[in-house]
Structure 1
């Protein structure tokens, strides 16, 4: 399977460099480049890529707003790019629906790995980092905010969780703790294949795009207490 990618950055050299790094990979095709958020959204609509890399600071429409539009309209996975590593950018990116966050000084191999990881349905944040950032993110959210379940007004929190089996709730708790599939398998004494099936079911039932949103859901529904 060839992974189709759109690269969006207002700096031509950065954009061209990322496109070159990704384009020489045998399993990745860069289908378009964009110089701002408006062009990025148009490119995603036109080419329906698997992944779009979005710079956070771009003219006409910034990367956060572009991410909101892309995530609301398509199934394309979003990876945010920035030279800034302040937590606020991460919070905004995750809330917009992004599947990951990379600094522009990312190593070549890590950039390629990131694209493959996102397509596989995993997050780009290490479990410990995801746990810290998303816990803080959830604690900043207003009381009563529901987990995002694909857009629009979300149902009552209990209704959201009631669609899960007892085992799936357990899986969601472990996802919220930042455990990998292998770690969850060891914790529950089951195979990784079984864990993957459960994770897929959790994401499908809750209308979540990826593991990052599952972590957010675990905190926002109160299944896990921020900082716990």
Structure 2
């Protein structure tokens, strides 16, 4: 109640405390989720219930929890750690209501580094063999190693070996990441590098 009163008086915004099941989609401009004393799994389940079009700000959250949740939930546009000042909170809420983002510097730097790495990997031209390209294309469609092996008349062990090699070449940690990084180039037309 103090939080509602403080924001209503200082920020000149209408603040409503409500249960999620009582909020109609499109009725809210910004969700402020008080994360204090909540487990990450609980917060994640709660975030899954929210309308993805409406921005979310996590308030009173620990940095490690914020990192995990921002990675999983793109609707999170604001993060306010437990030590945020009133002025910081009010400034951030105003930015969020205007359509911007409000993230702590450390979190922003980490996300930016991650984005740059992904762009660099996606922009590089890995020299995959024709067979590796075929296998990656099929893996990107969701086929298992056994299904790929059957389709290409190879052994599952050979497929596993090819996947290991192509992951190393493009710097991906798993086949889903490899398919994501190279999603625009899974049907290469240029010649292969043997």
State which of 180, 184, 187 in structure 2 corresponds to 1:158. Answer: 184
State which of 73, 77, 84 in structure 2 corresponds to 1:96. Answer: 73
Structure 1 equivalent of residue 92 of structure 2 = 114
Is structure 2 residue 114 aligned with structure 1 residue 124? no
Task: Give me the whole-angstrom Cα distance separating, in 1, the residues matched to 2:100 and 2:86.
Answer: 19
Structure 2 equivalent of residue 69 of structure 1 = 49
Q: Is the 8 A contact 2:80 2:104 kept in 1?
A: no
Instruction: Report the 3-state secondary structure (helix = DSSP H, G, I; strand = E; otherwise coil) of the residue aligned with 2:5.
Output: helix
Structure 1 equivalent of residue 83 of structure 2 = 105
Is structure 2 residue 8 aligned with structure 1 residue 23? yes
Distance 1:46 1:125, change over 3 A: closer
Q: Give 1 or 2 for the bigger CA radius of gyration.
A: 2
Stretches of structure 2 that go unaligned for 5 or more consecutive residues are: 119-171, 186-194
Q: Mean alpha-carbon deviation: is it higher for 136-145 or for 126-135? A: 136-145
CA deviation after TM superposition for structure 1 residue 133, in Å? 3.6
CA deviation after TM superposition for structure 1 residue 119, in Å? 1.8
Instruction: Report the 3-state secondary structure (helix = DSSP H, G, I; strand = E; otherwise coil) of the residue aligned with 2:23.
Output: helix
Whose strand proportion is higher, 1 or 2? 1
CA deviation after TM superposition for structure 1 residue 92, in Å? 1.7
CA deviation after TM superposition for structure 1 residue 95, in Å? 2.2
Stretches of structure 1 that go unaligned for 5 or more consecutive residues are: 1-15, 148-155, 160-228
Give the paired residue count.
126
Task: Give me the whole-angstrom Cα distance separating, in 1, the residues matched to 2:82 and 2:46.
Answer: 18
Task: Give me the whole-angstrom Cα distance separating, in 1, the residues matched to 2:173 and 2:12.
Answer: 39
CA deviation after TM superposition for structure 1 residue 123, in Å? 1.3
CA deviation after TM superposition for structure 1 residue 128, in Å? 6.2
Task: Give me the whole-angstrom Cα distance separating, in 1, the residues matched to 2:80 and 2:47.
Answer: 14
Is structure 2 residue 29 aligned with structure 1 residue 50? yes
